[in-house]
Structures are given as structure tokens and as C-alpha cells.
Structure 1
């Protein structure tokens, strides 16, 4: 069966739901191995765990070191394109934003079988409450004060049409001043050093 977006409820005496938490009793099986001169003794044992998972997903922030670099500007552009469900033109035709390649948003997990014996797969993002990438709060530091729109242009990763659609929002984003340490700065970036704490 195909993955669907319904909420997953576990019906088990070992799982309990409240408004705020999911409580799961789990037995972890391990083997204690004791060595002597003449033999190896393996003794299985169990450790009982109670796992508590919050059901309400809080706000999650991502602070990037080198936010104004190629990786930081491209990551930010990708999150914003998906958040706003943008489409853009490329030399190969129209592209639609998607989370293909995201392990939580595009991957499925085999949950079990249905009454007919068919495999049932669910989206990984539905296994437990988790933040959606569209909701990430992004910020960061960089030794360059260049805004993220200009950094995106400099990186030459994002298609031109998408750059134009993201420019207004990303031009308001500027990295916080960073600590300058020459040991961690590439030689070709020394000229951009004008946004440091000291």
C-alpha cells in the first residue's frame, strides 16, 4: 500500500496517549558476555525502559556558522521555496518545489501488513511528532555582512528565476557578526572579512 498522511495510532498495552505525551514501555534485549580461561558465558538480560515523547512540536531554530556562504544561502533558499510552494522556470522546463531528498519528508517506513497480508508503508514524518522543515527558523553568523539574496547570487547554485522570486525576502536576511579565526577561513575569503565581533 502507498504511504498516506493520516495520523498513526499504536494500539498496544505498552503504549499510552495523553494530551501532552506518548508513553511507550520498551524492553531492550542485550547479552552480557563473561570470559574465563576456558569458556565464554553469554547471559541474555532485559532492561525495561519507559520512553516519553512530547506530542506538541515546539519552534525549532537553525543557527548556521557561515550562513552567508554557498551552503547557508542555498539551504535557506530551499527552505523558503518549499515553504511558499514556489514554481520556477529552468532550461529543462518548469520546476516545482518539493522535499525530495529529505529523509523525514520523502521517505517511507514499512509499518506492518494489512488484513490481506499487503505491506503498509507510512511517511517517516508521521511516525512521531516532529518539526516540518517549512517551519524552521533560520539565522546564523558570517564574517561577511552580505545579505542572503546577494550571497545566493554569488553561490551560483539556485536557478535564476527562483533567485528572483526569493530576492525580496532573502535581501532582508543578514548574518550576525562572527568570530574571525584565520585558521578556519579560506584564503579566497579573507577579502570578505568585515563582519566580525572582534
Structure 2
């Protein structure tokens, strides 16, 4: 029995170091992305295409209102074609209202929103996480789900996190650096 335990110790230590290395690599990948682009965004993979997470839509919160935005790249619909989106996702998207909330006039609404959606989706796919969660109800943080059970959280200031569940998780979980937390749910 002692020999078995002694043999398993290096295996355990190697698995810990590979997990830590993976976490560090993921933080580096996220940090080199446009992290602030995900502020007040909720996006989740519905499937994977060659290992790349695919979300068919996501929400962006502005001034307390959530706007549901389509991933026209995955759905293969033109942004102006609301019927195509409706048939594919059974959801209603309000592109013009989103643009208007960003002080963009109706004439430029589709172009502006298309560029915004494309930038969010491309960064999300580049990072390769399962889900990203950020909202004013949680506070000033962006949570990157590695999978359904593990997360990395980018927290500018713990005092600006309002949601007790997350604040408690950030307090109890491993603080990796000044702005990063890692945990399991």
C-alpha cells in the first residue's frame, strides 16, 4: 500500500502542475484578448465546430437593458434578414434598438451591429472557453467558464462585485493574481 501511494505522488504532482500550466496559458490567452469587449456580455457555446465553441446568439447589456444579438456568422443569415434568424433560432433580435442604444442612427445600425457582433464572436472563439458571463447584477467582473464546473474570473475590484454568490466564490477560491480568480462550482 505504501509503495502504491509513493508511486502515485509523482502522478498527482504532474497532474497538478499541468492543470496550473493550462490555467496560466488560458489566463495569458484571455489577457491578450480584448477582455473589456466581454463586459456585460453573456455568451455560451451550444456546440463545437472542430474544437471551436459556437454560440448562435448572445446578450449585451446596456443601461440596464439586455439586447439579444445573433451570431450571423454561425447561422449564415444576413443581419437584415430577421425571418432567416426567426426560422433558425425561434428568437427575435432587435438590431436597430441595440444600435440606437449606442447612439448609432438607423442608416448605420446594421453595419455597426454587424461589426460589433463579429468582434465579440471572433474573440470568444479565439479564447475557446465554454461560456462568458458578465452583468451589472453581478458587478464589475467577467467570468470565463472553462467548462461547466471550472471558471476563471477577471475582477478589477472585489468591492465592485455585488452578487453575494460570486463575491463569496471569489473570496474562497484561489486568487491567482491581483485581478484573477480560479474556482470550481
Per the normalisation by structure 1, the TM-score is 0.27
Q: Which has the higher contact order (CA 8 A, sep 6+)?
A: 1
Q: What is the TM-score when the length of structure 2 is the normalising length? A: 0.28
Higher normalized helix content (fraction of residues): 2
Q: Which has the higher strand share?
A: 1
